[in-house]
């Protein structure tokens, strides 16, 4: 029956309202008479007076007018008369609209047949929604046939009905453009019949929704054929079904075809990593998809990497939904790297996605290279890629793109394929074809593609750049989602921090999205701090000073960390949030800085890490960072000050360092008070400095020799404009072990360049490290081939054992050095081309001897002197190796590393040299008569050999047995007046290294 206000015309409404008012008037009159009447027969009289049945024709008249005024209504009326069905006038009135809404009208199958008669005659309705009407196959078939004959109807919504295998209904659709079968119980038979219909050339369907049904992998093949056909289909929703990775094989095949599908949803299907990789791989070539929904598909890191690679060259997809997937840290990193390259993807949703690492199963094939550990910024090396694995195909695609950008980087490409039972594996050269056409040139089914890749041009290290406004607004919009918990915000923010750098004002806005000022917000602040380009403004991240104080307390000494100058020593507790963030930041920095090594001396829980990538980052760490443990390493940034940069004047530099609390307040004094505080302040100030090598030397000289001076040199290393002059500072201002530690921390080639043989330096090289082994081989090769007349390798120690004499420098030299072990620890003095400059400095010899014997004698004196200085440096650790550990000042990471290095040397030598400390060996060497004490003559002769002058005032201070006549009277010069204890104290004062 008709109800008020539901779209009838004006006359009908007026008649209904008039009848209603008449009834109300009569009821009021009845109540009035009832109050006055007291007789027994009043009830019948009143009932006769207000008999409503006589008004039914009046009320039915408007409805009959609605049903009969249009051809659609008349057709429905006639059908109702034939079948005895009853259709609500509301439905009839809806059929007079362009978008007819007949939801939940309790039509049933008979009602659907009735309105199908009207649909044929309808010339207005373009879309019809009959959701939730208990319509079965026959009703759907009737409506579909009617839609095929209708002049304008192009969209049908059958959601929440009882469809099972309506083959006839789907085959009848030839003109309908939109079909919705959500929650209709569609099974594989019905779905396959429907997909078969879509293959036809005369099918005009553009949008199909089969969500929340029972479609399985069995439909995969025909679905792939449908998508590949290239029909009219534009939108396909298959969410909430039982589709797995097997069906994705065919879906991916279809997406590579000539189809024009623009929207695809596979959400809430368990396609997993394998299915995600198959779909992601198609994005390389598909140029029709605009929106892709893979939410809750159990995707992992590998799928994210392949999707990211597919979007590398995709210029059509604008919306990608990956909500509620376990992307992991590496998956998030790949997605963020993709966003830096793809300018077409405008919306990436990751609501509820996890970016916490999960354990990975071991790969079955030793040929597979984990996509999580592949570094597109450092691709050099040998790659064995299984072409049956989509992840490995993505790596091959990245290598192809990089070879296109940098021609000649791909040195070889061979395809290993099966050549039959008799032939076994067949190797074929596909380099030329692969370079030209990429993976499209490889027609073989499966196989292993072996690629040797070596970048032919040096990669330029990229300076950190602050996040772009558009990217920041997108991140902020996602974090402001009210459906996110603070923990979800934290996980997402950590992922974003892997790819972007911020200013303090950005961090403040990001932290404002957190609901509570708790641990999640504090961890988020730590993550942002590690990526701040203006860390000196970190206090602006908070409105409350209390929160900033909590941040400082949680970060500790890493409050001095600066992302724009990360060069330094790190000891990180991986169980602590900020330490994990800094480790991740430095791994990402190593990735973005290009080919050259940045990580050195990496140890995990004191054990040497050997599985290193070309950047020096441990491969196992890139794959999955352990939840606990201590990670130690040295980081050297490859980003340096430009040579055209302008340095401060000396006065400006002094004033600046004084303002930054590096130097004391005295305007005329270059000195410090507390060295650890000064070094922390120097690190904070270093990001603003551009200095010359002379200024570099002057600032480093402010700090005490040893660990502090080396640390100052490390902090300022990348801030020197005339970098080529740094070796002069290393050679002429640093002692032997300062040189060793400095070169090991920064990398010898970074310090001295490629011409290592040009400089006289003390080396300690661990041949277990490929970088240091390369340095050793270059020095040995130069000694054999370039220095024919001069012994350049001296004072050799192999694994702590000192050689009795210098080795012969011929073609067997390397074999001699590695006779005990292929990877020993070598320590030696190397006399480079500047050796006579060092002689002038150390021995005060200003003229190079003309005769070869004299030159050799002078160089031998230099070698002896260097050995003496080395012995004096190590002596304190021989006497009391644990004394340094008890000193609280060694808690600074660089001091601890210095002490540990020297203690390691002493431990190795004590295994070969007995219990005698180095100075005792030298003392016994000088003591010709073996009396246990030195006379003035023995001491003078020894000092001449060692090349280390000892002032008389030192002897008078420490050797109390010496009197003036021991120097004046020749007969007293042979008296034993200096015992070992006095000699030890004299050396401690005389040798600058101590």
Q: pLDDT value at position 444?
A: 57
Length, in residues, of the chain:
994
Structure tokens, 857: 């004698």
Which tens digit of pLDDT belongs to each residue from 544-554?
Answer: 899 999 999 88
Q: Please, what's the b/e burial string for 709-721 (b: 16 or more CB within 10 A of its CB; e: otherwise)?
A: bbbbbbbbbbbbb
**How far apart are alpha carbons 575 and 630 in whole angstroms?**
8
**Region of poorest pLDDT, from 234-238, 403-407, 569-573:** 403-407
Percent of the chain with pLDDT over 90: 32
Confidence of residue 366 (pLDDT cuts 50, 70, 90): very low
Confidence of residue 419 (pLDDT cuts 50, 70, 90): low
Q: pLDDT value at position 655?
A: 92
Exposed / middle / buried, residue 992 (Cβ in 10 Å: 0-12, 13-18, 19+): exposed
Closest CA to 183 of 140, 232, 239: 239
Edge-to-edge, what's the strand order for the sheet holding 127-129? 99-101, 127-129, 155-157, 178-180, 207-209, 235-237, 263-265, 291-293, 319-321, 347-349
Q: Is the pLDDT of residue 227 over 80?
A: yes
Q: pLDDT value at position 377?
A: 57
Query: What is the average pLDDT across 416-443?
Result: 71
**How far apart are alpha carbons 599 and 378 in whole angstroms?**
13
Q: Is the pLDDT of residue 60 over 60?
A: no
Query: What is the average pLDDT across 133-158?
Result: 89
**How far apart are alpha carbons 833 and 568 in whole angstroms?**
30
Question: What is the torsional sign of CA 801, 803, 809, 811?
Answer: negative
Confidence of residue 632 (pLDDT cuts 50, 70, 90): very high
Helices (H) and strands (E) counted in the chain, each on its own, are 41, 24
| Enclosing H/E stretch for 339 | helix 328-341
Which tens digit of pLDDT belongs to each residue from 706-740?
Answer: 899 999 999 999 999 988 889 988 888 888 889 99
**Region of poorest pLDDT, from 555-559, 881-885, 951-955, 961-965:** 881-885
Q: pLDDT value at position 888?
A: 46
Answer left, alpha or beta for residue 844, where phi above 0 means left and psi between -120 and 50 means alpha: left
Q: pLDDT value at position 950?
A: 67
Query: What is the average pLDDT across 750-777?
Result: 91
Q: Is the pLDDT of residue 48 over 60?
A: no
Query: What is the average pLDDT across 896-921?
Result: 78
Which tens digit of pLDDT belongs to each residue from 854-884?
Answer: 989 899 888 888 888 888 788 777 766 665 4
**How far apart are alpha carbons 451 and 815 in whole angstroms?**
33
Q: pLDDT value at position 694?
A: 93
Tell me the HSE value of 798 on the side-chain side, using a 13 A CA sphere.
Answer: 19
Structure tokens, 5: 């206000």
Q: Is the pLDDT of residue 347 over 90?
A: no
Cβ atoms 368, 532 nearer than 8 A: no
Q: pLDDT value at position 867?
A: 85
Residue owning tokens 């607004």: 473
Structure tokens, 764: 């300690």
Q: pLDDT value at position 360?
A: 44
Choice between 648 and 967, residue whose per-residue pLDDT is larger: 648
Cβ atoms 525, 507 nearer than 8 A: yes
| R_g over Cα of the chain | 42
Confidence of residue 761 (pLDDT cuts 50, 70, 90): very high
Q: pLDDT value at position 796?
A: 93
pTM, 2 dp: 0.68
Indicate the pairing of strand 448-453 with strand 599-604.
unpaired
Q: Is the pLDDT of residue 922 over 70?
A: yes
Exposed / middle / buried, residue 834 (Cβ in 10 Å: 0-12, 13-18, 19+): middle
Cβ atoms 355, 492 nearer than 8 A: yes
Choice between 11 and 306, residue whose per-residue pLDDT is larger: 306
List C-alpha distances in Å: 890 to 32, 552, 894, 919.
Answer: 106, 22, 8, 25
Confidence of residue 447 (pLDDT cuts 50, 70, 90): confident
Would you call 372 helix, strand, or coil by DSSP?
coil
Confidence of residue 618 (pLDDT cuts 50, 70, 90): confident
Confidence of residue 457 (pLDDT cuts 50, 70, 90): very low
Q: Is the pLDDT of residue 218 over 80?
A: yes
Confidence of residue 40 (pLDDT cuts 50, 70, 90): very low
Q: pLDDT value at position 928?
A: 66
**How far apart are alpha carbons 510 and 506 in whole angstroms?**
6
Q: pLDDT value at position 675?
A: 92
Confidence of residue 944 (pLDDT cuts 50, 70, 90): low
DSSP 8-state symbol, 609: P
Query: What is the average pLDDT across 638-651?
Result: 85
Q: Is the pLDDT of residue 424 over 60?
A: no
Q: Is the pLDDT of residue 817 over 70?
A: yes
Q: pLDDT value at position 521?
A: 92
End-to-end CA distance of the chain: 106
**How far apart are alpha carbons 94 and 751 in whole angstroms?**
83
SS (H, E, C) 270-328: CCHHHHHHHHHHHCCCCCCCCEEECCCCCCCHHHHHHHHHHCCCCCCCCEEECCCCECH
E strands in 479-575: 568-573
**How far apart are alpha carbons 350 and 353 in whole angstroms?**
5
Percent of the chain with pLDDT over 70: 83
**How far apart are alpha carbons 329 and 206 in whole angstroms?**
38
Closest CA to 394 of 383, 378, 407: 383
**How far apart are alpha carbons 572 and 580 in whole angstroms?**
7
Confidence of residue 886 (pLDDT cuts 50, 70, 90): very low
Confidence of residue 461 (pLDDT cuts 50, 70, 90): low
- Ramachandran angles phi, psi of 899, nearest 5°: -65, -45
Q: pLDDT value at position 474?
A: 81
657-666: long-range contacts at Cβ-Cβ below 8 A with a sequence spacing of 24 or more? 657/682, 657/685, 657/699, 660/684, 660/685, 663/702
Q: Is the pLDDT of residue 50 over 50?
A: no
Q: pLDDT value at position 100?
A: 93
Q: Is the pLDDT of residue 365 over 60?
A: no
| Enclosing H/E stretch for 113 | helix 108-121
Ranked by mean pLDDT, which of 207-211, 475-479, 962-966 comes out on top?
207-211
Q: pLDDT value at position 37?
A: 56
Query: What is the average pLDDT across 203-224?
Result: 93
Confidence of residue 128 (pLDDT cuts 50, 70, 90): very high
Confidence of residue 374 (pLDDT cuts 50, 70, 90): low
**Cβ neighbours, 10 Å, residue 331:** 31
């Amino acid at each position: 029956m008709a109800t008020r206000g539901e779209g009838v015309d004006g006359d009908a409404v007026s008649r209904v309202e008039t009848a209603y008012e008449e009834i109300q008037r009569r009821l009021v009159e009845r109540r009035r008479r009832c109050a006055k009447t007291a007789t027994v027969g009043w009830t019948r009289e009143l009932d006769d007076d207000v008999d409503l049945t006589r008004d039914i024709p009046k009320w039915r008249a408007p409805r009959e007018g609605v049903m009969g005024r249009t051809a659609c209504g008349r057709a429905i009326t006639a059908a109702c008369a034939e079948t005895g069905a009853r259709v609500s006038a509301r439905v009839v009135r809806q059929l007079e609209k362009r978008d007819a809404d007949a939801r939940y009208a309790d039509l049933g199958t008979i009602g659907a047949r009735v309105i199908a008669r009207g649909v044929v005659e309808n010339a207005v309705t373009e879309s019809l929604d009959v959701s939730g009407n208990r319509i079965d196959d026959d009703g759907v078939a009737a409506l579909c046939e009617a839609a095929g004959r209708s002049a304008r109807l192009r969209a049908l919504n059958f959601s929440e009905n009882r469809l099972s295998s309506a083959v006839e209904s789907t085959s009848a659709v030839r003109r309908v453009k939109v079909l919705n079968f959500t929650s209709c119980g569609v099974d594989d038979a019905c779905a396959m019949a429907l997909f078969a219909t879509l293959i036809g050339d005369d099918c005009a369907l553009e949008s199909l929704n089969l969500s929340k049904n029972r479609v399985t992998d069995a439909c995969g093949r025909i679905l792939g054929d449908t998508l590949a056909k290239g029909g009219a289909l534009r939108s396909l929703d298959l969410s909430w079904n039982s589709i797995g990775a097997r069906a994705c094989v065919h879906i991916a095949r279809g997406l590579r075809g000539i189809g024009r599908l623009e929207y695809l949803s596979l959400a809430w299907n368990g396609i997993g990593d394998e299915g995600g990789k198959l779909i992601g791989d198609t994005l390389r070539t598909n140029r029709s998809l605009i929106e892709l929904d893979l939410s809750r598909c159990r995707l992992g890191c590998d799928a994210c990497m392949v999707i990211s690679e597919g979007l590398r060259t995709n210029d059509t997809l604008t919306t990608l939904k990956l909500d509620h997937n376990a992307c992991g840290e590496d998956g998030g990193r790949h997605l963020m790297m993709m966003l830096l390259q793809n300018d077409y993807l405008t919306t990436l949703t990751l609501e509820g996605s996890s970016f916490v690492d999960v354990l990975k199963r071991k790969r079955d094939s030793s040929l597979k290279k984990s996509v999580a550990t592949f570094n597109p910024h450092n691709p050099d090396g040998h790659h064995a890629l299984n072409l049956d694995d989509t992840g490995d195909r993505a790596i091959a695609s990245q290598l192809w793109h990089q070879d296109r950008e940098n021609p000649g980087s791909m040195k070889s490409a061979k395809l290993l394929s099966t050549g039959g039972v008799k032939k076994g594996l067949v190797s074929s050269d596909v380099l030329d074809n692969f370079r030209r056409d990429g993976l499209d040139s490889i027609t073989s089914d499966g196989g292993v593609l072996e690629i040797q890749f070596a970048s032919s041009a040096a990669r330029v290290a990229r300076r950190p750049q602050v996040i772009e406004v558009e990217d920041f607004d997108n991140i902020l919009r996602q974090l402001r989602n009210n459906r996110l918990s603070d923990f979800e915000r934290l996980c997402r923010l950590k992922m974003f921090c892997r790819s972007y750098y911020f200013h303090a004002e950005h961090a403040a806005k990001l932290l404002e999205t957190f609901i509570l000022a708790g641990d999640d917000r504090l961890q988020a602040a730590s993550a942002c701090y590690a990526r701040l380009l203006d860390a000196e403004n970190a206090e602006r991240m908070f409105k409350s000073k209390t929160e900033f104080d909590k941040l400082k307390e949680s970060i500790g000494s890493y409050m001095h960390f600066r992302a724009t100058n990360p060069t330094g020593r790190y000891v990180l507790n991986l169980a602590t949030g900020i330490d994990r963030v800094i480790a991740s930041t430095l791994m990402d920095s190593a990735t973005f800085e290009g080919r050259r090594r940045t990580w050195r001396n990496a140890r995990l829980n004191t054990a040497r890490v050997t599985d290193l990538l070309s950047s020096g980052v441990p491969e196992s760490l890139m794959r999955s960072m352990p939840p606990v443990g201590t990670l130690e390493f040295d980081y050297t940034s490859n980003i340096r000050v430009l040579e055209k940069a302008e340095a401060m004047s000396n006065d400006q530099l002094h004033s600046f360092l004084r303002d930054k609390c590096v130097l004391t307040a005295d305007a005329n004094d270059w000195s410090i008070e507390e060295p650890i505080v000064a070094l922390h302040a120097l690190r904070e100030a270093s990001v603003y400095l551009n200095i010359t090598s002379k200024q570099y030397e002057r600032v480093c000289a402010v700090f005490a020799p040893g660990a502090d001076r080396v640390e100052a040199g490390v902090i300022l290393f990348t801030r020197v404009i005339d970098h080529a002059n740094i070796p002069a500072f290393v050679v002429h201002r640093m002692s032997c072990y300062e040189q060793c530690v400095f070169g090991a921390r920064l990398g010898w080639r970074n310090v001295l360049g490629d011409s290592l043989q040009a400089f006289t330096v003390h080396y300690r090289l661990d041949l277990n490290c490929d970088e240091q082994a390369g340095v050793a081989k270059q020095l040995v090769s130069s000694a054999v081939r370039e220095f024919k007349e001069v012994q350049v390798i001296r004072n050799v120690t192999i694994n702590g054992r000192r050689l009795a004499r210098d080795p012969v420098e011929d073609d067997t030299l390397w074999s001699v050095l590695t006779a005990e072990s292929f990877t020993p620890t070598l320590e030696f003095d190397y006399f480079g081309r500047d050796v006579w400059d060092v002689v002038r400095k150390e021995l005060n010899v200003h003229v190079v001897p003309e005769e070869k014997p004299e030159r050799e004698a002078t160089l031998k004196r230099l070698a002896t002197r260097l050995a003496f200085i080395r012995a004096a440096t190590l002596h304190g650790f021989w006497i009391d190796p644990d004394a340094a550990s008890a000193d609280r000042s060694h808690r600074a990471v660089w001091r601890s590393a210095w002490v540990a290095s020297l203690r390691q040397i002493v431990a190795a030598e004590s295994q070969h040299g007995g219990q005698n400390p180095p100075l005792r060996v030298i003392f016994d060497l000088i003591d010709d008569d073996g009396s246990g004490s030195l006379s003035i003559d023995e001491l003078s002769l020894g000092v001449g050999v060692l090349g280390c002058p000892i002032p008389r005032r030192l002897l008078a201070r420490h050797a109390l047995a010496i009197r003036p006549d021991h120097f004046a009277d020749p007969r007293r010069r042979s008296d034993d007046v200096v015992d070992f204890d006095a000699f030890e104290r004299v050396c401690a004062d005389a040798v600058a290294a101590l």
